Structure 1
Amino acid sequence: MWLLLVSDGMAEGNTSQQEGYMDELHKSFSEKVLEWSDMVDVTLSEWLGGEENSTEPGRAKSEEEKLLKERTSTDAFFQSDKYLGETDDTYLRVRFDTQFQNREENEFNVRVSAHLPLSRSKKRFNLFVEDVNKDNAKNVLEDTDEKNAAPRLGINYFAPEAYGVRSKYSIGLVGIHPYVRARYNILFETGEWIIEPVQSFEYSTKYQFEEETDLYFDTQPNDVSLFRLQLYRKTETRTDGMDYAFIFSYFYTGSRETGWRVSQTFWGNTQYSYSVDDGTEPPVMSEPYGGISDYRTELSWRRNVWRKWFFYELMPSVNFHRRHDYRPNYAFRFYLDFYFGTYRW
């Protein structure tokens, strides 16, 4: 914690100093990332007979689009799942993720994610790599029964907007198993609110079918804050019942360097069951339960410090889960994020 306070105090002074060793190292690595992306881009362009990148037709910016830009910048700053699911920004992110909990195992991981553009081959394509970490990197070429135990890589295609509907299509691999994914969203403006339904479908040769719906209600109490109500539901072949959640979030970004978020989440399932911790092998499953199974309150403080490509985030939380008989599980999560390439927030 003292290290964070010292780094905060030195941030303003350091940004005006002459570039040092870390800046040169970051610049060199970023150039390598872009060179690699460009090499892949040229190769795919030759294979596909692609067109040179061209500018999108210009159009007037509506009030809806201005508000969309403001809420998108908030999601980009906090690196929300919504932003990561829809962005075509260029970045390579290295995340150090540490979590301490009093009722579950502590965790430490290093995760790598990337989105790289293919402007020559097709202006709407980009390569993606999602959450490669020290645990799943060894499963790239392995057959695993756990979907989250293998990294994802593939190509995104951002289709032209049609009748107000934005769509993104993905094809790639989960470990060694092919999958396809489609994501659709549309915006509605009602007074001071923007309503955005998002629907996605995914099919994998290994993990079969899943579909997910998110409904966002966003409004801005003032220029530096955003209030969001998110309604969520999901079904998948390998899980009984339907997952659902209600999430209330308040975001505050008083400056480009600092922001905080507070959220209250209610998670549930129509046929929820969990492993009973009684030491038996294989573990005994609880009786199916329909209702809210987890209540979570979370506070997040995110800070861009020292350089534009370095962030830290502190996330204290408490949740009350059915498998712990709704006794409090106190947790503290800590992120360090490093960005390379031409990523901008």
Structure 2
Amino acid sequence: MSGLTRCASLLLLALTFPGLAVSEESPQPLPDEQDAWLDDMQDNVSASIDATVRWFDSFFIDETQPLDEAAKAEARLRLGWEPRSRDLMEFESRFRVRVRLPNMKHQTDLIFSDYDEDEQGAGIKAARNEALDNRNRFSMALRFTAKKTEDLNISHRIGVGRKLQPYVKSEIRKTFGLSDISNLHLEGSVYYYTQDRFGSRLRAQYSYQFDDENMLRFDNNFYYRDKENDWIWQHSIHRYRQLDARTGLIYGLFVEGSSRPDYRAEEYLLSARWRRNAVREWLFFELEPFVLWRRDEDFKPSYGLAMRVEAYFGELN
């Protein structure tokens, strides 16, 4: 077992200890030594990230047009253990770093990650489509914002991904306010990878707000792959419920399928996710019991429990 996997195991086991329980009002205080260790780690990582991106941004300074805004960055690290009845050793680690570079022309972000955040797959690793997930284990891209308003965003990317293939991508996002409590969000993108060739993604998301604490969301995604000449489709419905300022519940049903050899479902996922901001403002813990049915397992139910910890460093806002 790798060092990162052992670290994930230790962090996730902390979820079972009563010492992590917190009140509704505020996180439970920790002993001074542990307080200092956590805070120093977060501060040091955030400071290191900020210093690096400011050094990188300095190469693009135009002395004739000085800017008041400084380069900033944020990073997210996620560790998880997702045992299920057919695989008890399902571990996962994910990271994403986003950098804002004000000295480059237009609004520019530099993104490093081991996954593509635009691929709207299932939250459970065992339920993700390997054709979409595994090929995106590392990505580095410059994202240029061509137009950004409250309900419209047009951007372009150039970078490497999918096993270090150079690629270009253009994306448009538009939100339509249907009423005071509902909206329709549409996304479309086209891209070209040097080996996978052309592809596209279409997304339609409908949201309905019951009240301040409850929301229903229906999501539809379609991915066209030129190399395989097929479509991967995903439909999901989620109910979001906010229990208090730091705790939320998400109930969901996710279905995924493909167009070859015919239009059919490949898997079903039923889950309930509990998410809690505890101990620190930048730490989040999750528990997600789930049931998974997959075609390659003859649609026999597989029961599991995902346990995750997520940490945020730096801040773009």
TM-score, L = length of structure 2 = 0.79
Deviation readout 1:200-229 (Å, 9 max, x if unpaired)? 112111221211111010111010122101
Work out which of the residue numbers 135, 138, 158 in structure 2 matches 1:148: 135
Is contact 2:169–2:190 with CA below 8 Å preserved after alignment?
yes
Q: Could you tell me how far 1:295 is from its partner in structure 2?
A: 1.6
Within 5 Å, give how 1:185-224 maps onto structure 2.
185-191=173-179, 192-224=181-213
Deviation readout 1:167-217 (Å, 9 max, x if unpaired)? 121111124321111121111122232001111112111221211111010
2: CA distance between counterparts of 1:5 and 1:181? Answer: 47
Which residue does the alignment assign to 1:38?
54
**Aligned-pair Cα RMSD in Å:** 2.8
Is contact 2:53–2:73 with CA below 8 Å preserved after alignment?
no
Query: 3-state DSSP class of the match of 1:180?
Result: strand
Q: Give the gaps of 5 or more residues in structure 2.
A: 1-12, 116-132
Change (3 A) 1:226 1:15: farther
Is contact 1:243–1:270 with CA below 8 Å preserved after alignment?
yes
Query: 3-state DSSP class of the match of 1:24?
Result: helix
Within 5 Å, give how 1:168-317 maps onto structure 2.
168-174=155-161, 175-191=163-179, 192-271=181-260, 288-317=261-290
Deviation readout 1:63-106 (Å, 9 max, x if unpaired)? xxxxxxxxxxxxxxxxxxxxxxxxxx942111112221223573
Is contact 1:252–1:259 with CA below 8 Å preserved after alignment?
yes
Within 5 Å, give how 1:25-174 maps onto structure 2.
25-45=41-61, 52=67, 90-104=73-87, 106-122=89-105, 124-131=107-114, 148=135, 150-161=137-148, 165-174=152-161
Work out which of the residue numbers 332, 336, 342 in structure 1 matches 2:305: 332
2: CA distance between counterparts of 1:313 and 1:41? Answer: 35
Q: Could you tell me how far 1:324 is from its partner in structure 2?
A: 1.4
Q: Could you tell me how far 1:53 is from its partner in structure 2?
A: 5.2
2: CA distance between counterparts of 1:35 and 1:96? Answer: 25
What is the total number of aligned residue pairs between the two structures? 280
Q: Give the gaps of 5 or more residues in structure 1.
A: 55-88, 133-145, 272-287
Instruction: Give the AA of the match of 2:38.
Output: M
Is contact 1:53–1:120 with CA below 8 Å preserved after alignment?
no
Instruction: Give the AA of the match of 1:184.
Output: I
Change (3 A) 1:101 1:119: same
Task: Give the stretch that moved more between structures: 212-221 or 315-324.
Answer: 315-324
Instruction: Give the AA of the match of 2:28.
Output: G
Change (3 A) 1:253 1:20: same
Change (3 A) 1:149 1:241: closer
